[in-house]
Amino acid sequence: MRPPSRPDARPRGAAANQATRPSSGTTTRNRAAAGAAAGAAGAAAGAATARPPAPAAPAPAPATPPEPQPSVGSVTSLPLPRFAALRSDEVNLRTGPGTRFPIEWTYQRRELPVEITREFELWRRIRDPDGTEGWVHQSTLMGRRSAIVRGAPGSETPLRRRPEPDAAPVARLRPGVIVRLRQCEAGNPWCEAQTGDYRGYIRRADLWGVLPDEEIK
pLDDT in tens, 5-46: 333 333 333 333 333 333 444 333 343 344 444 444 444 444
Task: Tell whether the model's pLDDT for residue 49 goes beyond 90.
Answer: no
- Cis amide leading into 81 (omega within 30): yes
CA dist 125 and 117 (Å) reads 6
The mean pLDDT of 180-194, rounded to a whole number, is 96
User: Would 116 be classed as within a structural domain?
Assistant: yes
For residues 97 and 130, state if they share a domain. Answer: yes
Instruction: Report how far residue 106's alpha carbon sits from residue 84's, in angstroms, rounded to the nearest whole number.
Output: 17
Is 49 contained in some domain? no
* Position 99 in a domain: yes
Q: Mind listing the pLDDT tens digit for each residue in 61-119?
A: 666 666 788 889 999 999 999 999 999 999 999 999 999 999 999 999 999 999 999 99
Task: Quote the pLDDT of residue 62.
Answer: 65
Overall number of domains in the chain? 2
pLDDT at residue 24 in the model? 40
Distance of CA 97 to the CA centre of its chain: 23
From 144, 159, 188, the end of a domain falls on 144
pLDDT value of residue 191:
98
DSSP at 159: E
Q: How many residues comprise the chain?
A: 217
The confidence band for 51, taking pLDDT boundaries of 50, 70 and 90, is low
- Both 139 and 189 in one domain: the answer is no
Nearest in space to 123 (alpha carbons), one of 170, 72, 82, 76: 76
pLDDT of residue 195: 96
- Please report whether residue 152 resides in a domain: yes
The domain boundary, picked from 126, 144, 162, lies at 144
For residue 137, the model assigns a pLDDT of 98
- Domain span holding position 114: 82-144
pLDDT tens for each residue of 135-178: 999 999 999 999 999 999 999 999 999 999 999 999 999 999 99
Q: Is the pLDDT of residue 198 over 80?
A: yes
- Is 77 inside any structural domain? no
Q: Are residues 134 and 171 in the same domain?
A: no
**pLDDT score for 53:** 64
In a domain, 29, yes or no: no
Nearest of 146, 157, 164 to residue 208 by alpha carbon: 146
| pTM: predicted TM-score of the whole model, two decimal places | 0.69
